[in-house]
């Protein structure tokens, strides 16, 4: 993604978000980067995280070159110490946390008889435990001030399984009930919790098989990273003040579709 070109082309729509602080996990590439870019364009101070220190630094440099305020922290969020450092450094730099976007995840799927116990354990840590612990830390900051937003990134695979879909669909799909439970528990503390479920969002150069996938998708094309960023910006904006505990499917119609075109069941 050409951050400079895209940044200049995005219209800022939510002036109320300017100056607020957003942590976006897994934001040095792909969906997370698209979300962070959009929030930065709204004037938010963004915290970029990821496993690769060079990618984190590159994303921060590209955003700050556009006048955005950004902080980069590389680390593996399966480790409690890394979560503690993320919040401590964010508060030290920006004073608070207003938005948490739980995007980071391990995406591996394979036939279940090939799934190892180590992979199951790892995905449970990264896809389930880490978002819970991140939300808990965010809530400790947001609830006393009666303001904050958590947006979890889930998957259409939680309701329409991939094939193969395990262990990813099971672990990432746990985010849906987590979203609803936190939303209901914390809404009267001023914290709104929702989720987005991205459709097919390739972030690399087009490949020959893309056309076949597009033809099986109602929208007829991939979902763009900035379309997901726009959905998140809406969910954390005052325009979504009554949206609580919802999963917004930004999937080009995949979950609405019973079968692909030409392949009736």
| Cβ neighbours of 201 (radius 10 Å) | 17
* Strand ranges of the sheet holding 148-153, from the earlier edge strand across to the other edge: 70-74, 45-50, 21-24, 99-102, 148-153, 191-198, 247-250
Integer Cα distance of 101 and 196 in angstroms: 10
Instruction: Report whether the peptide linkage leading into residue 164 is cis, meaning its omega lies within 30 degrees of zero.
Output: yes
Q: Give the helix/strand (H/E) hosting 239.
A: none
Q: Which of 122, 147, 168, 249 is catalytic?
A: 168
Structure tokens at 237: 């904006």
Q: Which of 160, 188, 162 is nearest to 245 (CA)?
A: 188
> Rounded to a whole number, what is the distance in angstroms from the first to the last CA of the chain?
38
Q: Which helix (H) or strand (E) covers residue 24, if one does?
A: strand 21-24
Residue 168 is a catalytic residue? yes
3-state secondary structure 34-70: HHHHHHHHCCCEEEEEECCHHHHHHHHHHHHCCCCCE
Nearest to 40 by CA among 6, 78, 68: 68
Residue with tokens 């090939």: 114
Cβ-count burial of 188 within 10 angstroms (0-12 exposed, 13-18 middle, 19+ buried)? exposed
What is the set of active-site residues? 168
């Amino acid at each position: 993604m050409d951050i400079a070109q895209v940044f200049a082309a995005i219209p800022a729509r939510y002036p109320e978000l300017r100056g607020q602080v957003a942590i976006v996990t897994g934001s040095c590439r792909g969906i997370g980067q698209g979300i962070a870019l959009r929030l930065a364009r709204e004037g938010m101070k963004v915290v970029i995280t990821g496993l690769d220190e060079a990618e984190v630094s590159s994303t921060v440099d590209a955003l700050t070159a556009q006048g955005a305020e950004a902080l980069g922290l590389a680390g593996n969020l399966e480790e409690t110490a890394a979560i503690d450092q993320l919040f401590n450094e964010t508060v030290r730099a920006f004073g608070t946390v207003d938005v948490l976007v739980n995007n980071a995840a391990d995406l591996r799927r394979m036939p279940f008889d090939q799934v190892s116990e180590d992979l199951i354990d790892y995905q449970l840590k990264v896809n389930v435990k880490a978002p819970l612990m991140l939300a808990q830390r965010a809530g400790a900051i947001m609830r006393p001030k009666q303001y904050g937003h958590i947006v979890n990134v889930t998957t259409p695979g939680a309701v329409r399984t991939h094939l193969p879909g395990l262990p990813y669909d099971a672990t990432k799909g746990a985010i849906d009930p987590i979203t609803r439970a936190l939303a209901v528990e914390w809404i009267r503390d001023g914290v709104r919790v929702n989720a987005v479920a991205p459709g097919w969002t390739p972030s690399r150069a087009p490949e020959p098989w893309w056309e076949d996938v597009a033809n099986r998708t109602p929208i007829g094309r991939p979902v763009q990273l900035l379309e997901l960023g726009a959905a998140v910006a809406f969910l954390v904006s005052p325009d979504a003040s009554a949206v609580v505990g919802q999963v917004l499917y930004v999937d080009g119609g995949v979950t609405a579709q019973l079968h692909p075109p030409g392949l009736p069941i």
